[in-house]
Homo-oligomer: A and B are copies of this chain.
Amino acid sequence: MGQSGGGKDRVRQRIGEAIKAQIAAGTYRPGARLPSTRALAMELGVSRTTVTAAYEQLLAEGYLETRPGAHTRVARGLRPHAQAPGLSPPAGPARLSAFGQRIAGFGAPGPFPGRQPAIDFRYGDLAAADFPTLAWRRALNAALLHRPDRLRYGDPCGTPALRVALQGYLWRARGLRCEPDQIIVVNGSQQGLDLCARLLLDPGDRAVIEDPCYLLARQTLAAAGARLLPIMVDREGMRTDRLPAAARLAYVTPSHQFPLGSVMSVARRQELLAWAARMDAHVIEDDYDGEFRFDIRPVEALQALSGASRVIYLGTFSKTLSPLLRLGYLVVPAALRPAFATAKRLADRQAPGLEQDALAALIASGAYERHVRRMRRRNAERRAALLAALAAELGDRVAVEGADAGLHLVAWLADLPRRQEVELALRASAQGLGVHPVTPLYDPSAATERPDRAGLILGYASLDEREIRGGVRRLAAVLEEMRAAGPAHRI
């Protein structure tokens, strides 16, 4: 066994390393005889057993070789490192695949942790206090206690319990009808999107996106080599009259356009579905915050319309529970199910077992939906505070868009030109305030009409009312400072 980890082990290890170093330095050349274990033990003043163990280790690793009754020698095939040819580090940058080269242009994410502003309107963040810690801990602990006898890989699409729970939830909350077999549990909607891109797009294929659009969606489709066709959005969502004559895929956010917030009208939904049918294209419906609609019931999912057999629905728990949970799901047409199952298995075998069990229990018990309702109320309060603060501090110098739903809004600043967005963000950051320009979400190659004013995406789900009011006050002060800086900064 030799794994006792005591002092003998360390001695043995040091002997082994010393011999390796001597081989590397050429002291012992390939084929050279080593001292007998007895001789070396005497020389080093250690037990013969320890030397024998060190030799056995080197034999197993192939540094030494031996034959019954013969001396132990340095393995004949071995090259001292000094003589090993061509072992210098690779010259120049690593050779990457076409995929690797495409994504190299996206810029590496980070640094992490970045300097975190005291008040940050970053979209996607949630308040840790909102997480249902107790319920989750109970569910995790229960799942830990109810493990089967054997730990083994299960269905790559997710546990039956979670998919059945999700089926019921989607029907109750989103009017979505599907079989549990159409559900693929993924590590957050980002993985769902990536699987769609890999399975449905070849390099050069045309893919429709909204403009502006969620940055990682654009990057994911571009990473697959797709030729992106950005289409402008208005108050009824994507301008479906501008859909192209050919494409393989359309990525849309019909319940709450990201980031501008419009709801795609039913007429346009129908047009989109009819277009997809003519193209034999698939539509990815990213329902990233469909749970959060404050004025009325959450709008019905595109997938729930008749004729939606080409729709892939993308859902997530990142907005209702935590972005760090990394759990989401796809609802795919039955015909695509085998392809997604195989792709998910190759991507990472399956989602984590314990978390799937805990989530299934949370949904089945009703605790998840109670939590969602609580979050909807809490975020309505935050939203009200943000709208009130914006009106109070900025008045008609701000125009708000997309505040009816979701966990963010877009604020267009009437007296700040678009080119000063970055300056605004930098000045705000210096004041401990995180605000995030809308411009990077527009496709730089598209000529989409948009206000020639600075726009900010203000996410509010991680802030309390005091922080929201304080943040807007700071924003107003920064804008005032920029205005005071001189006429060069006026439109």
Q: A residues touching B (Cβ–Cβ < 8 Å)?
A: 1-3, 5, 9, 12-13, 24, 53, 56-57, 60-63, 75-79, 81, 84-90, 93-100, 103-104, 106-110, 112-113, 120, 122, 124-129, 131, 133, 136-137, 140-141, 144-145, 147-156, 160, 186-188, 190-191, 194, 198-202, 205, 216, 219-220, 223-224, 236, 248, 263-271, 273-274, 277-278, 280, 282, 294-297, 299-300, 306-307, 309-310, 322-326, 333, 335-339, 341-343, 345-355, 373, 376-377, 380, 404, 462
Give CA–CA (A85, B377) in the complex, Å: 41
Return chain B residues, CB-CB under 8 Å to A56.
295-296
- Alpha-carbon separation in the docked complex, A346 to B191 (Å): 7
Nearest residue, chain B, Cβ from A61: B299
Is B265's CB under 8 angstroms from A61's CB?
yes
Given known A-B contacts A136-B144, A147-B131, A296 and B373 have beta carbons under 8 A apart: no
9 nearest A-B pairs in the assembled complex, by CB-CB distance:
A62-B265, A87-B307, A324-B353, A77-B267, A112-B155, A86-B277, A191-B348, A108-B338, A187-B348
28 contacting pairs across A/B (C-beta < 8 A) = A1-B376, A2-B295, A3-B297, A3-B377, A5-B373, A12-B297, A24-B306, A61-B300, A62-B264, A99-B198, A100-B339, A103-B343, A103-B346, A108-B338, A113-B154, A125-B150, A127-B149, A127-B151, A128-B148, A128-B150, A133-B145, A137-B141, A152-B324, A322-B353, A323-B349, A324-B353, A325-B353, A326-B349
What is the oligomeric copy number?
A: 2
What residues of chain B lie closer than 8 Å to A348, measured between beta carbons? 186-188, 190-191, 194, 326, 348
Contact A61 B266 (CB under 8 A): yes
With the chains together, A220 CA to B5 CA distance in Å?
Answer: 38
B13, A307: Cβ atoms closer than 8 Å:
no
A188-B349, A325-B354 are known contacts; what are 19 more A-B pairs with Cβ within 8 Å? A60-B296, A62-B265, A87-B274, A90-B280, A94-B282, A94-B333, A97-B198, A99-B198, A100-B198, A103-B339, A108-B337, A113-B155, A133-B147, A153-B324, A322-B353, A325-B352, A326-B349, A326-B350, A355-B355
Q: List the B residue with the shortest CB-CB distance to A103.
A: B342
Q: Does B104 lie within 8 Å of A338, measured CB to CB?
A: yes
Known A-B contacts A84-B274, A124-B152; A267 and B338 likewise in contact (beta carbons under 8 Å): no
Q: Answer whether A295 and B60 are a contact pair too, CB < 8 Å, given A131-B147, A346-B190.
A: yes
A351–B326 touching, CB < 8 Å: yes
Question: What separation, in Å, do the CA atoms of A310 and B94 have in the docked complex?
Answer: 9
> CB distance B150 to A127 under 8 Å?
yes
CA distance A109 to B350 in the complex (A): 11
Question: Are A100 and B200 CB-contacts (below 8 A) given A109-B155, A216-B346?
Answer: yes
Chain B residues whose C-beta falls within 8 Å of the C-beta of A86 in the assembled complex = 274, 277-278
CB distance from A75 to the nearest CB of B (A): 5
Q: CA–CA, A6 to B335, complex, Å?
A: 38
Is the CB–CB distance between B326 and A352 below 8 Å?
Answer: yes
* Minimum distance in angstroms from A13 CB to a CB of chain B: 7
